[in-house]
Each structure stands twice: as structure tokens, then as C-alpha cells.
Amino acid sequence: MKRNRNAKIIATLGPASSTPEEIESLFIAGADVFRLNFSHGTHADHKARLDAIRELEKKVQRPIAVLADLQGPKLRVGDFEIGKVRIENGNLFRLDMDPALGTDKRAPLLHPEVFAALNVGSELLIDDGKVRLRVERHGADFAETRVLVGGEVSNHKGVNVPDVVLPISPLTEKDLADLEFAVEMGADWIALSFVQRPSDVAEARRLVSAHVGSRVRILSKLEKPSAIDHLIDIIDLSDAVMVARGDLGVECPSEMVPILQKRIVRACRLAGKPVVVATQMLDSMVHSPTPTRAEASDVATAVYDGADAVMLSAETASGDFPKEAVTMMDRIIGQVEKDEHYRVITDASRLEPEHTTRDAISAAARQVAHTLGAAAIVTFTSSGSTTLRAARERPEQPILSVTSDVEVARQMALVWGAHSIMAKDVRSFTEMVQKAVHFAQSEGFATIGDKVIITAGVPFGFSGTTNVLRVAEIEDPNAPHGPYRHVSNE
């Protein structure tokens, strides 16, 4: 199941893709990571899907990552007398804590934390921004607003407050239960919704760390403007980041979303953290077997920008053509990465290595691989650190990420260019080179006469110690000196 591309594909599972057969078809079509959306479905549903993924792993002998996506707080208006109302531009409209049924003059909003954070002039968006209100007067339990953009409002429509930081945790009681369950069942990544500030990520980290032995990684979803204000700190505290363009596009002007996408991807590249671009990437394929040209271009742009992964949501969870959507995304990525301009753009956007031994080795590995025309870069890693630094360099060659830790192997399935391989820890330089050569050949990346670049940390088995670079040339196994020979030892 060798992938002939670098950017990864995340496929969301749901009613259209829940059986073992459907999950396998998505993997074969190109899915590298499966997302379990905890906004929908029961714990039993998610456990059954995870079990099917783990059985598929055994069948295909390839680590597969599972991303558990927490719902986060959902701010919603209450019910209306007739189910829905229409409010007109320029009219006054009141939101308050009174649970009485709403009218075209007022509606219940049973979220005191919203009223506590409002200022005169703050805007409230209803139904993904279709209705826009501006606060003229407010108190602890109400807000009198002026309707800037009117329209229809119905029961339980979502409310967004883009220009204030709400005094709430990103983890509701439901999220806490879901987080506990996701960690216990063995998810590899936790996606944290409604991140507003660095302390939100720190809170999630503390809860995950409370599980003895758990090393699940945290992916922060950037969907609030306040998160952009703390972008660098949030990236530093996270293991990965998602550009959640749906909510971000509601709370920010639409014309800013492409700019923010590039800014976030660039910042993650600089930090060496995986970054995912998500939401409506092939949205028309929910009901159509082919995407629009604009959607194909959207996916391509994320790949040109250097995203580690692109994500499918409703396209695979509830759409009519889940397998076709993954196949199309795989084809788009493949075509982009074959384009000569892709490498020009990638090389031009390469970042200076940090002043550390591991970055110096990783940068040198990319340069040596390019100069020698090597077939692959093989990283031996215990924590994933060596692989992540190699991926930060965006080399031309595939990265074979060799680890003895199944959790790390699965987590690296999200990382650009990384091809995860499970193997026992190496104990010597000779064994390291032997395994590197063996895996490069057995996985279909190299053949006799090819060179492979090897990076690792000494002493072996300790994380964050990348300090070795070696070059080996694959030779005939019947040669007097064996199946490989050292070209250099650094």
C-alpha cells in the first residue's frame, strides 16, 4: 500500500462509510487518516469504526491514524413560537436568558457567558453569518441589538461571537466524556475545537496527560479570530494544527480566509508541526461524482502551500460518493506533486534550519539526498521527532519513518511525506544500515544501485537526539561485502 505522494488525506467516517468494507475501500482509494466526528454518533459507533480500522491495519500491514474530533461548545438560540421567524434589516432584536418561546422581536439565548463578554458594538452572527446583529445595549442577561443583515432564524440555529473572547472552556461536559473515551479506546490524535487562547490547549494537554501511559497527540482547530491573535503560542503548545475554514470563514471576512490559511500553514512549517487544511474541499462531491474546477483548484492550492494533509468531511461521512471523493483528492495531490512548479515553489519556501543538531542533520540529509539523487531518506525514531524534522525540510525523496512504537507509527501517518514502518529498535550502526536498506527495498522505494540517506539519534532509543547521518548504497546481496556498502559516516 505504498503511497506515491507526500500530502496526506484525512477521511471522515459516518453513515456513508461505517462498515469494514467501506472503510477498507477508502483506505485503498488513498485515505491515510480516519476522522471520527464526535459531534455525531454514539461511543459505540466510534468504537466499532476504530475496531474496523485496527483490523484493516493487520490486513494491510500499514499503520493507520485515527483522529477523534471533539465537538466543542455550541452556542445556539432557543425555540420560536412558530418554529422560525424573519427579522428585518434595521429593526431591534433582543437576545436574553428568558426561556420563553421567541418571536420576531426577541429570542432566548441561554448562554450567560455570551452576555458577560459582550461590548457595545460587538457583532453576533446567527446561522453561519446569514443573519448579523450589532449590540447597542447589554447586561448580564440580555443584549439589545440592531439587525445589520436580516433573514430567517429558526429553532436552535448557531450563534457566533467573532470579536470577543468568551469566558468558556473549549471542553464541555460532553467533550470531557468524549475525550476520556477517545483516549481509552486508543485514538492517535485528539482534535480540539473552539480554541481561543493558548490556555485552552494547555487544559486539554493536562487532561490527556492525566491518563497514565497515554501519548495521544493534540491537534488544535483554528476557527476563532482570537486564536489567530495567539497563533504562535497555540502552535507551540499543539502537536498539529487544523485550518478549520468553515467557522473561520463565518467569523472572519471571507476574503481573509485564504490569507489566514497561508499564514497558518507557513507558521506551522516554521515550527515543524503538521498542518491540516479542512472544510468544503470537495463539497459538491457530497452529491456529485465529480468536483467543480474551483474545488480541484482549492485542494491544489493547499498542496502547493505545503499542507501536511487535506481533509474530507461530509464528502466521505454522509455523501453519495465517498470512495470517489478520496480517489479524486488522491489524483489532485498526485498531479500537483508531479508539476515542475510544485518543486520550485517548495524549494523557494524552504525555511532556514533552527540552530540545533537535529535540524542541522535533517537539513544536511535533504541536501545530500538531492545531491546524490538518493531513493529515500530513512529516519529511525522513537518519538517521531526525527521524522518531523525531516518532513519540515520537504525533501524530494520519500521519508521512511522507522519506529518500534506502534503509537508513533500511527501518528506519523498524518505527517507530510512520511511512510510509517514498524520494526524493533536497532542496537548498532550495522543493524541500522541493514534495516534501512531492507525497508527501502521491501517497501518498493529503492533497488540495487540506489543510495539511501539514514538519520537517527545516538544513543539509540532516546527521543530528540537526532545526531547521525549516513549514506548507504544498495548492492547485490551476493556481493562479497553484502547487500550494501557505506558511502559516508557522519
**197 catalytic residue (yes or no):** no
Spell out where 283-405 has E strands.
Answer: 309-312, 376-380, 399-403
Closest to 114 (Cα-Cα) out of 172, 160, 166:
166
Q: Cα–Cα distances in Å, from 186 out to 47, 148, 163, 182, 190?
A: 9, 47, 37, 6, 10
- Residue identified by cell 508513533 is 408
Q: What one-letter code names the amino acid at 397? A: Q
**Catalytic residue chosen out of the listed positions 132, 221, 366, 451:** 221
Instruction: Select which of 145, 279, 381, 387 is catalytic.
Output: 279
221 is catalytic: yes
Of 47, 76, 174, 215, which residue is the catalytic one? 76
Amino acid at 168: I
DSSP result, 99-117: -SPB-SSEEE---HHHHHH
331 included as an active-site residue: no
Q: Are strands 142-149 and 151-154 parallel, antiparallel or unpaired?
A: unpaired
Query: What whole-number distance in Å separates Cα of residue 329 and Cα of residue 152?
Result: 35
> What CA–CA distances, in Å, run from 403 to 2, 21, 236?
17, 29, 24
Evaluated on CA atoms 231, 235, 236, 237, the torsion sign reads: positive
Locate 270 and state its grid cell: 516554521
Cis peptide before 483 (omega within 30 of 0): no
Catalytic residue among 35, 49, 224, 435: 35
Q: Is 428 exposed, middle or buried (0-12, 13-18, 19+ CB in 10 A)?
A: exposed
Residues 6+ apart with CB under 8 A from 352: none
385, 358 in Cβ contact below 8 A?
yes
Q: Which residue type sits at 258?
A: P
Q: Is 35 a catalytic residue?
A: yes
Structure letter (DSSP) for residue 70: -
- Calculate ∠ Cα 102-105-107, nearest 5°: 35
Q: Which residues of 274-312 are buried (b: 16+ CB within 10 A; e: fewer)?
A: bbbbbbbbbbbbbeeeebeeebbebbbbbbbbbbbbbbb
Active site residues: 35, 76, 221, 279
